[in-house]
Amino acid sequence: MADITDIKSILYTEKSLELQERGVVVIQTSNRMTKNSLKVVLREYFGVAPLNINSLRVRGKAKKFKGIAGRKSDYKKFYVTLPEGSELQTVEV
């Protein structure tokens, strides 16, 4: 089962910052994370019960690394709608 280590990052792009103003956080995770496991992680570690979760599977692009064909990793993006007035506390490293 997926856990907190499967969350890769919270995305901060131009689009995701606009969504954050409306209470939607974009989270990048590994492929094995599901909506239910993300909901459990958000409740346990962040103390937030999400209102809605939408998921998107992103396939890695085929690239060449120093002339050798390779492929970037696949990942999932989750659009998490949070209750009004709540936010995710992140850890600065």
This prediction has a pTM of: 0.85
Residue ranges covered by each domain of the chain:
4-61
Q: What pLDDT score was predicted for residue 93?
A: 46
C-alpha atoms less than 13 angstroms from C-alpha of 27 in its C-beta half-sphere: 30
Residues 6+ apart with CB under 8 A from 85: none
> Quick one: CA dihedral 33, 38, 40, 46, positive or negative?
positive
Of 3-7, 32-36, 50-54, 62-66, give the lowest mean pLDDT range: 3-7
pLDDT tens digits, 32-42: 999 999 999 99
Over residues 7-12, mean pLDDT: 91
**Mean pLDDT for all residues in the chain:** 90
